[in-house]
Structures are given as C-alpha cells and as structure tokens.
Amino acid sequence: QVQLVESGGGLVQPGGSLRLSCAASRSIFDFNVMGWYRQAPGKQRELVAAITGGRITNYSDSVKGRFTISRDNAKNTVDLQMNSLKPEDTAVYYCNAELIYTDATRYVYWGQGTQVTVSS
C-alpha cells in the first residue's frame, strides 16, 4: 500500500507564494508519473502539474509560468512551488502517483489533500 502525505497548504494573500510537498511511503523512483491535482468547490478535479520519472513536466494553462513541479527521488518527495497566487487558485490540492506496468496495468494513488486559500 502506498501512502502520499501532502503538506504546505494554508491561507495566502493574492500575489503570494506557497510551496506544497508530497511525501511518499515508498521510493518514488518506481512511479512513472507524479502530479498535483486540485478541486475547487462545485468543480471537477483537474490536473495542475505532472512530472515523469525522466523529469518531463506538464502544466495546465492556468498555472504555466507561475507554478513549478519538482521531484526529489532521494527524499521521496514531489513539491509544487506556487507563485503569484490568485483567488481562483483556491482549492484542495491532491498529490497523485501512478505506476504503469509493461502489461499496461495501472495503479493510481492519491493523498488526502491540503487546502490552499488565496484571499485578502
């Protein structure tokens, strides 16, 4: 069983910064993709940013240029640096990890989520 534990959420003013961290209970070297998703009240969960084992990154258009995802295989963590935060970034942020085997079997793991609120 894989556990993902997020930290770093909180309340920040517009224009401010936060850094989210996701700690995995096993080596993240095994995961093909790790990412951050978010879900605002009344909305569907959406991808924010993802990073592959080869450190190829993908960002949603709404956060490009403001957010940066990184992974540290030695520490088994994936971080999301969020700058120039906007009220519309307010959501619960979830860490995600995916294992994809050669037979295409796919396992997806989620953290419990951390609240990010951007408000003055």
Three-state SS sequence of the chain:
CCCEEEECCEEECCCCCEEEEEEECCCHHHCCEEEEEEECCCCCCEEEEEEECCCCEEECCCCCCCEEEEEECCCCEEEEEECCCCHHHCEEEEEEEEEECCCCCEEEEECCCEEEEECC
User: Cα separation of 69 and 62, whole Å?
Assistant: 14
Does the pLDDT at position 54 exceed 90? Answer: no
Average pLDDT over residues 4-22: 97
Query: pLDDT averaged over the chain?
Result: 96
Average pLDDT over residues 67-76: 95
Does the pLDDT at position 80 exceed 90? Answer: yes
Least confident of 37-46, 75-84, 85-94, 95-104: 95-104
The pLDDT confidence band at residue 68, using thresholds 50, 70 and 90, is very high
User: Cα separation of 13 and 32, whole Å?
Assistant: 34
Average pLDDT over residues 55-64: 96
Average pLDDT over residues 52-73: 95
